[in-house]
Amino acid sequence: MTAIRERAIVSLQSAPSLPRHVRIQYDPARQAFAVLSPEKVFWPNEISIDILRRCDGRSTVERIIADLAADYDADPEDVAADVIAFLQEWSDKLLVKL
C-alpha cells in the first residue's frame, strides 16, 4: 500500500529549505544556474534562483518577500503572490521543503 503525502501549504511563517537531494549549481557552458535533482535539471530564471538561495530553513516566507522587495525596489504586496506561488509549485514537486 502506498502512503499518500499530505500537501504542504505555503504560509508567511513557513521557513522553506532545499531538500538534501536538491542543489543549485552554476553551468559555465550555459552561463546560468541550474537546479539539480535526481534525474532532473531545472533552469530557473534569475529571480527564481534568488528565491531558492533564500530557502535556508531559517528565513520565513515573509522575510524572503521583504528581502526580495527591498533588493528589487518593489512593493512587498506585488512580490508576495509570485513568491508564494513559486514556492508552492516547487514544494508540490518536492523540490522545496516547507
- What number of CA atoms fall less than 13 Å from residue 39's CA on the CB side? 0
What is the rounded average pLDDT of the residues 27-34? 97
Residue 58 has pLDDT above 90, yes or no: yes
High-pLDDT (> 70) share of the chain, %: 97
Distance separating alpha carbons of residues 8 and 31, to the nearest angstrom: 33
